[in-house]
Structure 1
Amino acid sequence: MTFTVTLQPSARQFDVARDEPILNAAIREGIGLPYGCKDGACGSCKSRLLEGRVIHGAHQEKALSAAEEAAGLILTCFATPQTDCVVEARSVPGAGQFAVLKMPGRILALTRPSADVAVMRVQLPANQNFQFHAGQYIEFILRDGARRSYSMANAPHNLGTPAAIELHIRHLPGGKFTDQVFSTMKEKDIVRMEGPFGTFFLREEAHQPIVLLASGTGFAPIKALIERLQALDSPRAAVLYWGCRSRADLYMDDWVQAQLAAMPLLRYVPVLSEPRPEDHWTGRTGFVHQAVMADLPDLSGHQVYACGAPVMVASAQRDFVERCGLPESEFFADSFTSEADKQTP
């Protein structure tokens, strides 16, 4: 049995199976709805149910509270329709532009720029035309069917020869995938992938100055956005705030410094939360989003692209909107929810 979902205000319609999340059907049909994790943890897909009835799967309270659900809000990633539905959701131009493909990949290189971060380059199959927006992510499909998501850290024009995507993977001890990456995985191994996914990419039609906000390996998709800005020869001013614990965690600081020489409109502010004595750090310290607020107390004319730890993304969105005048519609985020995050009530 299928039901018809109508989106407002776009009036687009698509069919959804009774046991299928609305978002899955939208992705399949190439319809651009906002979303992030697809796992009921980040809240990026939050929309309003205007008509009809849905059933929600188990999801994070922080993504959709009981009060919000009672007020008619839904998570399209976990809401399955039980009747025809009308859903109010903003469209994301370009989100459904490229086909989602399942494909094999071969590991070309696996390096360790820091103790707990691996940079992996995965060769794309030559017989599939894999296309994506800078900032989107792919999912690794593990042998037991489990999936793990990682943002692509290079822009589509910068895949190299042979064509390969770059991924930044932080080791989470006990992690089903990351333990393999940091122990048994090696060059020439074959992995299974599916993508592209996500609505975190540059809104190229905009003209506002840009704040790029990253914590830890949230730098990966931000790196792709910087490459895209450079390829466009963009006239927009951009500033990168990269928050890490210690100096060693700024694992691609040299790469950023090199871009500054090539991109006169790009500025860079690294921020350490727990600098070590051996770091001899004289730069900014504290919470990275608070460094943005100190430098840019008025964000009303900016766009913000934030990526990394869920607590950083949530704090930045709240404080930038409430205290710095950032229009809520100009905050774009990719919250890196771990499996532990998804399983915490």
Structure 2
Amino acid sequence: MAFNVTLKQSGRQFQVEPDEPVLNAALRQGIGLPYGCKNGACGSCKGSVISGDIEQRAHAASALSNDEKTRGMALFCCATAQSDLEIDIREVAGVGDVQVRKLPCRVNAIEHKADDVVVLKLQLPANERLQYLAGQYLEFILKDGTRRCYSMASAPHDEGPLELHIRHMPGGKFTDHVFGALKERDILRFEAPLGTFFLREDSDKPIVLLASGTGFAPIKAIVEHAIHKQIARPITLYWGARRRKDLYLMDLAEQWAKDVPNFRFVPVLSEPDAADNWTGRTGFVHRAVIEDLPDLSGHQVYACGAPVMVESAQRDFSQHHGLPENEFYADSFTSAADLANPV
């Protein structure tokens, strides 16, 4: 029999079937809860169990610590109900209004932007249009049923192909295929839109965009959406990478800084070498934010990229620099390796 789940903050209720993850049940019934990977690796769907019993299934240790478990925290993407529940988790407006669909697509272009980064452009079938929020992601459905997630780098208003930024992970089943065998006109299948990483337009706070590596992809979609909507809030983009070549669309970000009022771009390299002739900022990209903005109490932050960067930024910004916890939005780029040793 199904169990009832009550959301503490709003009082809204939904039902969850036995063995069904709480997150899946909420999304199935049009209730927006925060999530990213949906496999226990990123921690985006973390919340508190106020009353009732759950079974917490395998997840990455970094996503939910033992201390958090003892304090009643749970990852709702991999938690099932054992009784009626009351839970405390931030609700996300707007996500339930966009239909999640499975669609085929044709590879329109494969553009190499760095040794290990391609921009992949996908053409939808004629008369098909995907509705999504800038910053959301899609999941490729591979022939064996496994899935791989990539953020959409094109903004929703863009009439052209869907754009993805894919970094080669040597040994990765999908990226080895993309870099070794995929060719134009090949057919792929995906499900979208997914995720709760998108610009909250009901605020007037200055925006800090924080990206590492190909975490620039959803940030690009958010910036282009903000430009299209003529959003006047100050925006500062911090993009971090190891080497200059890893800032694979730096010219585009520099052009935004020239053309867009109230937009600032700060590139940061952690390991520049002599060949880079780098005179810009160095170190960890989230530390550059702190150096420039030691008081983040009046800002919103959108962070995307490597899990270690996202986790460090969330911890340091919230604990030491005044950022309200509910003004930090993140998309942590987890991979299969992040679940190699689940707990």
For 1:256 and 1:190, how far apart are their aligned partners in 2?
31
For 1:109 and 1:245, how far apart are their aligned partners in 2?
27
In structure 2, the partner of 1:309 is: 306
Counterpart of 2:84, as a letter, is: D
For 2:191 and 2:2, how far apart are their aligned partners in 1?
25
Of residues 211, 214, 239 in structure 1, which corresponds to 2:211? 214
For 1:225 and 1:3, how far apart are their aligned partners in 2?
37
Task: State the shift of 1:339 in Å.
Answer: 1.0
Task: State the shift of 1:48 in Å.
Answer: 1.2
Task: State the shift of 1:93 in Å.
Answer: 0.9
In structure 2, the partner of 1:21 is: 21
Counterpart of 1:314, as a letter, is: E
Q: TM-score, with normalisation over the residues of structure 1?
A: 0.96
Counterpart of 1:110, as a letter, is: I
For 1:322 and 1:184, how far apart are their aligned partners in 2?
46
Task: State the shift of 1:5 in Å.
Answer: 1.5
Q: Which SS does the other structure have where 1:333 is aligned?
A: strand
- Identify if the C-alpha distance between structure 1 residues 262 and 199 changes in structure 2 by more than 3 Å, giving closer, same or farther: same
In structure 2, the partner of 1:331 is: 328
Is 1:170 the counterpart of 2:167 in the alignment? Answer: yes
Counterpart of 1:193, as a letter, is: F
Q: Which SS does the other structure have where 2:119 is aligned?
A: strand
Of residues 254, 262, 265 in structure 2, which corresponds to 1:265? 262
Counterpart of 2:321, as a letter, is: C
In structure 2, the partner of 1:58 is: 58
Moved over 3 A (4+): 126-129
Residues 1-345 of structure 1 correspond to what in structure 2 (within 5 A)?
1-160=1-160, 164-345=161-342
For 1:209 and 1:246, how far apart are their aligned partners in 2?
28
For 2:13 and 2:267, how far apart are their aligned partners in 1?
45
Task: State the shift of 1:127 in Å.
Answer: 4.7
Task: State the shift of 1:342 in Å.
Answer: 2.0
Task: State the shift of 1:70 in Å.
Answer: 2.3
For 2:56 and 2:128, how far apart are their aligned partners in 1?
35
Q: Which stretch of the first structure deviates more once superposed, 294-303 or 120-129?
A: 120-129
Task: State the shift of 1:71 in Å.
Answer: 2.0
Q: Which SS does the other structure have where 1:332 is aligned?
A: strand
- Identify if the C-alpha distance between structure 1 residues 50 and 215 changes in structure 2 by more than 3 Å, giving closer, same or farther: same
Contact kept, 8 Å, 1:21 with 1:77, in 2: the verdict is yes
Counterpart of 1:4, as a letter, is: N
Q: Which SS does the other structure have where 1:177 is aligned?
A: helix
For 1:97 and 1:64, how far apart are their aligned partners in 2?
29
Task: State the shift of 1:128 in Å.
Answer: 4.2
Contact kept, 8 Å, 1:307 with 1:336, in 2: the verdict is yes
Identical aligned residues as a percent: 60
For 2:95 and 2:339, how far apart are their aligned partners in 1?
24
For 1:280 and 1:135, how far apart are their aligned partners in 2?
32
Q: Which stretch of the first structure deviates more once superposed, 63-72 or 151-160?
A: 63-72
Task: State the shift of 1:129 in Å.
Answer: 4.2
For 1:330 and 1:263, how far apart are their aligned partners in 2?
24
Task: State the shift of 1:261 in Å.
Answer: 2.6
Contact kept, 8 Å, 1:246 with 1:276, in 2: the verdict is yes
For 1:302 and 1:83, how far apart are their aligned partners in 2?
39
For 1:66 and 1:15, how far apart are their aligned partners in 2?
28
Task: State the shift of 1:260 in Å.
Answer: 2.0
For 1:262 and 1:28, how far apart are their aligned partners in 2?
42
For 1:253 and 1:68, how far apart are their aligned partners in 2?
39
Contact kept, 8 Å, 1:30 with 1:99, in 2: the verdict is no
Task: State the shift of 1:255 in Å.
Answer: 1.2
Counterpart of 1:14, as a letter, is: F
State how many pairs are aligned.
342
Q: Which SS does the other structure have where 2:35 is aligned?
A: coil
Task: State the shift of 1:215 in Å.
Answer: 0.3
CA RMSD of superposed structures (Å): 1.2
Contact kept, 8 Å, 1:154 with 1:166, in 2: the verdict is yes
Q: Output one character per residue of 1:204-242: Cα deviation in whole Å (capped at 9) or x when no partner.
A: 010011111000000000001100110111110011110
For 1:285 and 1:52, how far apart are their aligned partners in 2?
48
Counterpart of 1:157, as a letter, is: H
Q: Which stretch of the first structure deviates more once superposed, 63-72 or 31-40?
A: 63-72
Q: Which runs of 5+ in 1 are unaligned?
A: none
Task: State the shift of 1:125 in Å.
Answer: 2.8
Counterpart of 1:57, as a letter, is: R
